[in-house]
Structure formats: structure tokens, C-alpha cells
Structure 1
Amino acid sequence: MSEDSDNARSASNEQPALTAAQAAAVAVECLAELTSNDIKGVTRVEPTEDGWLVEIEALEDRRIPPSADIMALYEVEIDFDENLLAYRRIKRYSRGSTDIEPRVQR
């Protein structure tokens, strides 16, 4: 075998197979630790060139009645080694809100 094919194989062996479910779990754990928000669920998991983009819904502020709670959507980027690359809040809204905005395409 040539040196190039050996390097290609070792590079592919170094990158662990991280499933969408595993990426979502890692993203939830990271976001909960960083924000201390009550995580309500994962709304999207999408592969990227460097790993996974995970969208997470979180409770930011409890209100009375609960339909007035302030919710947020976060995007969390995880690499193939389960490291947090970035996170950002992309939207805040009232839990009872029926205003549905179209998702921004990247």
C-alpha cells in the first residue's frame, strides 16, 4: 500500500462514528451545564462538515401561568470528538405563542 492510502485510512480511523442521537445527548449536556436552563427537548439534528448542528428548546424563565413561560431555541455545534464548538440562542418566545416563523436556511 502507498503512504497516501495509509494516511487516508488512519485519518478515517481517527474520526469516531458519532451518531445523531449521541450528538444530541452531548449538546443537551453542554447547553444545560453552560446555561443552567431547563432543557425541554431537541428539535433538530443536522450533520455538518465538522460534526453536528443540534437545535435545542429550553425554558429560560418560568411565569404564572405556565403558558407565559419564556422559551428559547439554541443552536449547538458539536464536533466528531464530542467537543462543543459553539452555541447561540437563535430565538426567544412565550410558551403559549402561536406565531410560527419560517426557519432561516443556512
Structure 2
Amino acid sequence: MPQDLDEVGAAEAAELALEAIERLTRRQPLGVTSLSPTDEGWAAEVEVVEESRVPSTANILGLYEVDLDAVGELVSYRRIRRYARGRTE
């Protein structure tokens, strides 16, 4: 199926998700940890430094879910998890 010229691809969707989270939370995003297409556009998870501490291994991170439409506009976002850097589930 050909992609509409106005629709964004995966790489651009990831960049747009990072930009949206930084603009909305005013916090430093570390990167996109997952990205998947949806019927409406894209769903991304973005890891963010919520609290900077010394040493950096004590930082508190947040994981945000970001939904974009097919042209890359933000539809919704929410923090789904908060945790200390280096902690695993």
C-alpha cells in the first residue's frame, strides 16, 4: 500500500515524539524505546530524565507513551512508569 505523501515514516515519527515530550514536559528525553504503527498513526515510548541526581546512576527516569496521528501531530501522551536509572523489572 503506498504511503500518503503527508504521512510521516518511522524515523520522523520518532523524532516528533521526542520533540513533543521535551516541549510538553520541559525535560530531557533520552530516546525512543519503542515505536509501532497504529491504525491512526504511531505509538511511541520515550524515556525521559525526570530528576537529575549525582551520580547520574541515581537519576529518576520516566517512560512516556506518545500517540501521533498519520501526519505526525500529537494526539495524546501520558507517563506510564517512573523508576530509578538501572532498575529492571
TM-score (norm 2): 0.90
Rg larger in structure: 1
Residue 66 of structure 2 is aligned to residue 66 of structure 1: no
Bigger proportion of residues as helix: 1
RMSD, matched Cα: 1.5
Deviations 1:43-86 (A, max 9, x none): 00000110000110110001122111000110100101221000
Return the match for 1:22 from 12, 33, 44: 12
Runs of 4+, deviation exceeding 4 Å:
none
1:16-95 counterparts in 2 under 5 A? 16-95=6-85
Q: Which runs of 5+ in 1 are unaligned?
A: 1-11, 101-106
Bigger proportion of residues as strand: 2
Percentage identity across paired residues of the two chains: 41
**Paired AA for residue 90 in structure 1:** I
CA positional deviation for 1:16: 2.3
Q: Which runs of 5+ in 2 are unaligned?
A: none
Count of residue correspondences: 87
Contact 2:7/2:72, CA 8 A, preserved across alignment: no
CA positional deviation for 1:18: 1.4
**Paired AA for residue 23 in structure 1:** A
Question: Bigger relative contact order, structure 1 or 2, given CA contacts below 8 A and separation 6+?
Answer: 2
